Amino acid sequence: MTLQMWTFLVVGATFALYLGIAFWTRAGSTGEFYVAGGGVHPVANGMATAADWMSAASFISMAGIIAFQGYDASAYLMGWTGGYVLLALLLAPYLRKFGKFTVPEFIGDRYASQTARLVGVICLLVASLTYVIGQMKGVGVAFSRFLEVGFETGVIIGMVIVFFYAVLGGMKGITYTQIAQYVVLIIAYTVPAVFISLQLTGNPIPQIGLGGTHTESGVLLLDKLDQVVTDLGFAAYTAQKGSTLNIFLLTLSLMIGTAGLPHVIIRFFTVPKVKDARSSAGWALVFIAILYTTAPAVGAMARLNLMDTIQVGKVGDAAGNVEIAQVPEWMNRWKTTGLLAWEDKNGDGRIQYYNDKSEAFKPKAESFGWKGNEMTKVDNDIMVLANPEIAGLPNWVIALVAAGGLAAALSTAAGLLLAISSAISHDLIKGMIAPNISEKSELLAGRIAMAGAIVVAGYMGINPPGFAAEVVALAFGLAASSIFPVLMMGIFDKRANGLGAIIGMIAGLSTTLIYIFWFKGWFFVKGTEMAANIPANWFMGISPEAFGAIGALVNFIVAIAVSRATAPPPEHIQHLVEDIRVPKGAGAATGH
């Protein structure tokens, strides 16, 4: 059976499952639309949360970044998993105890301010829309390759699919769909990893294979990879390339961004009790760890396979390149997507993939007759999806990976769109503009808002500011700088008041946005020397993806300073804060 037939069969079957679940569990009330009626089991909720969490950035893009950045990309692994520890310990149980549907609703009630609630809605929309852009990029990558259409067409197809099952089911449909999507994506991620680990190391466990011996050369796999890339003028895979400060701040930004993401927080309102919220976070971390411990092996093995497939043999061969007269077939298939490109600069019918900016390697390249690096484009986001093709795995495995990548992207997109929908319909319309709106009208407003968000996200997905994981990292930075501080202070600082929260959120969000817009070169610096040489101009070497931690610090400082300089919150609000943290009856036995 051909690859395209396998893809239609596997992807079609999974989509039929998702749409069937969405129809079977469609929401009939606002409670079911927003929080699935509050009756989801903690283990099931943990699995759904893991699928909600493991987006296109985790499934498709993270291993791609690890493949090309090596050591420096460990920040993504530590940040995106470490954040769940913060969420489980510092936020989830307290927010669940507070009992409100949405993050802006918590902000509005805790700080006794509708203005604070409005600013919270704005922060949520900015962070969530940025996050959805990354998912749409991932959807476009998967559909464009496996349906053999252009990237833009792939994004549009994904928009239509998300519209049907997210708008129909709300949180109730999304929760049970995400459980199915987790099963699909984790099988799709681990099966090819096992195959490739067996091929390269003889060990079926990728996590162990990563530290094992490369079968063909007899040296450690990572040593082999270091040798291959350094022989071609690249920095060693295992070497640190960026500054320690930037790696630390990127890890911190991703951690606190995780703990501040509205679409993850809202999942803890779908369980019956406060205890279940903490249990859900623990189960989610277990389910996430299965993929996240596999990702480093997938990234390293994908990079080694890529280098060996394009330019097999030793750099010092007499011919100076490979004994192959044609481009590998998998590259021709990916070229049609526009995400992979090359140019035969010296007309030898082969591809030379090397670092032509390395002054030390230039003399050797010139002696081989090489005229420059001929791989003009390798989008990081293709690595996981292309890896089984590069390794020559069976077509059914390649089709399974396609289904898994789509499951990851669509599950997170649905959760994000629900957070956006609830912010507009529940917090903005019902909470502020039309308090007496009927439940039916509120549901309709939520679905219309979700449809609008899909259109915006689709457009931005076609014109993304970076790889899926980069875009998602920006979203985490925005959540870290705007939402996380106000939630932390709302729970642990009874002196924090509404004015402090408002100015703090505005200061943190605007600082981070300005930095991102400036150094991403989207507007007024696009095409200038600063945009062309971005890392050299970063403030203290801090990348835009890492700046969310600085924005969070600005938010904390401004909010605390303003709160201390102005009147404290009302007495009942201060008691409310203490009640959130302290269990009922605490101190009764001692009289304290």
- Could you read off the pLDDT of 280-289 as tens digits, one per residue? 778 888 888 8
CB-based contact 490:496 (threshold 8 Å): yes
Specify the pLDDT at position 460.
75
Place of tokens 């002696």: 367
Mean pLDDT of the chain: 79
CA 384 to CA 408: how far, in whole Å? 13
- Could you read off the pLDDT of 513-570 as tens digits, one per residue? 888 888 765 444 444 444 434 566 788 888 888 999 999 999 999 999 999 999 999 9
CA 423 to CA 259: how far, in whole Å? 18
Q: Smallest Cα–Cα separation from 16: which of 164, 123, 139, 118?
A: 164
Specify the pLDDT at position 349.
73
Give the model's confidence band at 417: pLDDT under 50 very low, under 70 low, under 90 confident, else very high.
Answer: confident
Six-digit token string for 560 = 């605390």
CB-based contact 441:510 (threshold 8 Å): no
CB-based contact 60:410 (threshold 8 Å): no
What is the crossing angle of helices 151-201 and 114-146, to 10°?
Answer: 70
Min mean pLDDT across 275-279, 300-304, 395-399 is at: 275-279
For 421-444, what is the mean pLDDT? 77
CB-based contact 172:37 (threshold 8 Å): yes
DSSP conformational letter for 351 = -
Q: Which residue has the higher pLDDT, 397 or 418?
A: 397
pLDDT at 172 over 60: no
Specify the pLDDT at position 228.
87
Phi/psi class of residue 465: alpha, beta or left (left: φ > 0; alpha: ψ in -120 to 50)? alpha
pLDDT > 90: percent of the chain: 19
Give the model's confidence band at 205: pLDDT under 50 very low, under 70 low, under 90 confident, else very high.
Answer: very high
Min mean pLDDT across 28-37, 107-116, 125-134, 158-167 is at: 28-37
CB-based contact 253:549 (threshold 8 Å): yes
Give every CB contact of residue 533 below 8 A, 6+ residues apart in sequence.
none
Give the model's confidence band at 179: pLDDT under 50 very low, under 70 low, under 90 confident, else very high.
Answer: confident
CA 489 to CA 208: how far, in whole Å? 42
- Could you read off the pLDDT of 83-119 as tens digits, one per residue? 878 877 788 778 777 766 678 888 888 998 889 989 9
